[in-house]
A and B are shown apart, each in its own frame.
Chain A
Amino acid sequence: MTIQITPAAGFDDPVQQSQQAFRALLDAMARPGRVTTVETETGHPDGLAPALAAALLTLADLDTPVWLGPGFDTDAMRSWLRFHSGAPLAVRPDQAVFALLDAAQMPALETFSYGTDEAPERGATLLIQVPGLTGVDAMTWKGPGIKDSISMPLCGVDQSIWRQRAALSIEFPRGIDLYLGCGRDLVALPRSTAISIEGA
């Protein structure tokens, strides 16, 4: 058994690097479906995509409970997140402002907060680590930030999860916002985007 003594590194220069990472996150959120690269270097625990590590270091702090999903609820991950961000770890997924999830082990979307009609901003942001952001197009995304429409692959996320997400559109403005991360690349899917799955 190995004991993790020191957490993995974070940003070398938090002020500048978190700003650079934020601009990538903002660009991605403003243009759903467009692959955005988080250029800035960041330390990260083994197994966590640098793009999602940068997102957590940029956005999470003591005001934002983070829920670590199956596969990420490890000592290395917990100590890294606590050391760098000070974020409390959510016990239940519905308490989470941010949730870190693996595409292969996704819980149902309804386990997370959608916010309320009067305060929709309380809906959770899910950071989903995916095996890839390319592949055979299987979905069409439409909405603010997308000029006409954009074709997207399933990105390694199960079709049942995409179906849950597609059904969420009628709840708008309640909903959840997603970031899909692979390596240093990100794709955002805000709740305002309507998705339709081919053959579904």
Chain B
Amino acid sequence: MVEELLHSQAGILNFGIFFLLAVVLLFVILGFVTYAILAERKVMGFMQLRQGPNQVGGRWGLLQTVADVLKLLLKEDTIPKLADKPLFIIAPVIAFAPSFIVMAAIPFTDKFQFADLGVGLLYYVAISGLTTIGMLTGGWASNNKYALLGGMRAAAQMISYEIPLVMSVIGIVLLTGSLNLNDIVAAQENVWYIVLQPVAFIIFLIASVAELNRVPFDLPEAENELVAGFHVEYSGFRWAMFMLAEYVYIFAMASLTTVLFLGGWHPLFSFLGFIPGAVWFALKFMCVFFLLLWFRSTFPRIRADKLMEFAWKILLPIALANIFLTAIIKEILNLF
């Protein structure tokens, strides 16, 4: 459907259709973010022997996030006197926009997807890198040393961990022979890549947690070291934009992990094929998401001086070795 739309003529009607689709996706994502935050607080609460939110919206606190967001939107919009105003205002937009643009390339099922890009994987990595600029801009424009330190850390960390992230995926690209996410899912019809590329999966998981700025790699916003990192001076809906970007990236990254390693919408066993692909995708997606929450409530923050060493001296060599091995094995298999 989208394919036809993309090739149709430009006009008011088509613009309207695209706009409407984007708004629908935005609302789906906002709904996810609302309940992702609740799920995070609930799971963390249970893992720390607490109840988590249970007051607003009944026994399970179903309206807690709605109330929180409402509070954020009603808060006064503060801008520091000596801040770089235009940059300060545009930074949350720069941080959030790529996270939403990225969603276009992810195939949720064989029907439900927006853009079937030939270089889908590259597109994801390239666009998601732009968020770093938003964070750095926010940190710089705040005119606050903690914010600047947080922004610098964010930039350093996200750029270094992007490299092992991409390198770990190259094994998959070699095996599939394509950067198209649809082709990658199609290649996993029989065996998922988590079985064929377990090392790549572990590297990808670690690097993706670091990319998402989550515990144990949450140094850019370490509360007890930097107050709050690059968004110290932000409050109200500007701060909400940063948080929204973070959670949309969790959505995108969990989807990407599902697509790359867990076989996308393919069922676990072929005899379970009667269950629709969307359910399979949602199940795998939720497993990945739970893993992120699980990590958050288990691991302590990694030390700042070990962070870079870990990316460059451990993850990158392993990822490179993995590419090398994959290439050799593929060549040997091709001989026969």
Do A and B pair up? The answer is: no
